[in-house]
Amino acid sequence: MTISRNLSMRFLFFSNSFLISLFNKPLKATVVLLLVVAIVLIFPPQVKSYGYPENNSAYLSPQQTGPVYDLGGGGPDVDEAIQWMINKVRGPRSYEKKVDVIVIRNSGGNGYNEPILEMDGVSSVKTLIISDREEASKENVVKNIEDAEVIFFAGGDQCQYLRNYLNTGVDRAVKSVIARGGAVAGTSAGAMIQSDFVFDACSKTVTSETSLEDPYQDISLRQNFFHWNNLQSTVIDTHFYERDRMGRLMTFVARLLRDGRSSDALGIGIDEGTSLIVDQNGLATVVGDNFVYFVLGDHLPKKCEPQKPLTFRNFKIWKKKSDETFDLSNRASNNDYYKVSVKKGVILTDPY
């Protein structure tokens, strides 16, 4: 933005000088100058971009060592998880190489730029604020994303992410980063859009209480945004324990089964101040202060109908703390689960 503004000022200065010398009529030149200024103001850049200059560092080869993911539960970010993702993309013996990071958000500022730039192995950080579908298909936006090795979706509104980015250049560019072994991260809504199925939150507020009472009211589960390896048939929820979202995640899982969209559905609930990092082999590790819950439904619910309370016997639940793992690529190998049932909209035992 600063470079562009400086170039514009130089252009206006030389244009003014030229016109004055040509016409030797300052008033006429000033009128023309004002017209030029008006044109610049009428056609400003549409996409806000906050960036830091690239360092003089070695760049990664076209193929990185991922793909890897960092799924944050909202609240305080887990720097350790972000650094892990950066290191994974750089490779085990490539610490002289550095990555370019793009932060994507619907609105807000560049608060992520400075702390991420200070991490090991980061060459540059740029925040793109992309607030509609037109911006999400602009060539310069797509090119910035395609040239990066790490993408980070900030928190915000998953409904707007879906409306603005699905089937656009942003969508395709992020997928291209993963296709060549890069990394994608997100926190809060930015993590929720990474699962195979996404609760779009485009309707009214949905709580555990309301969803258990009516599994269809204001609940829309979208698919075909991202479809990452090892995250198939998943649905992610964040701010999990803090907002008591176990009941609504159970409802999401039951809906996917009842609607025939999956034969077994895995809900992933991530607490605040906690991240789930996923390596290229599908091994998920918890990092942070709190917990991640894995909620599996592998059979049809007894009752899951509009305007009727949910009844579902024996959800399988895994509760994992920091440094504990869950194998997403072989779910059957995770045998340390406990079972929780729901009867007529009531969770029968403490699910946490």
Give the pLDDT band of residue 224 (cuts 50, 70, 90).
confident
pTM for this model (two decimals): 0.84
| Assigned token pair, 208 | 């555990």
pLDDT tens string 259-308 = 999 999 999 999 999 999 999 999 999 999 999 999 999 999 999 999 99
**Using CA atoms, how far apart are residues 252 and 271, in angstroms rounded to an integer?**
17
pLDDT of residue 59: 52
Domain residue ranges of the chain, discontinuous segments joined by +: 2-42, 48-347
Neighbouring CB atoms inside 10 A of 316's CB total: 18
Q: Distance from first CA to last CA of the chain, Å, rounded?
A: 48
Decide: 216 and 306 in contact? Cβ < 8 Å.
Answer: yes
Q: Which of 45-59, 89-103, 175-189 has the lowest mean pLDDT?
A: 45-59
pLDDT tens string 61-72 = 456 788 999 999
> pLDDT above 90 covers what percent of the chain?
78
pLDDT of residue 287: 98
Q: What is the CATH number of domain 48-347?
A: 3.40.50.880
pLDDT (average), residues 64-89: 95
Question: Which region holds residue 77: left if phi is over 0, alpha if psi is between -120 and 50, else beta?
Answer: beta
Give the pLDDT band of residue 56 (cuts 50, 70, 90).
very low
Nearest of 310, 176, 205 to residue 252 by alpha carbon: 310
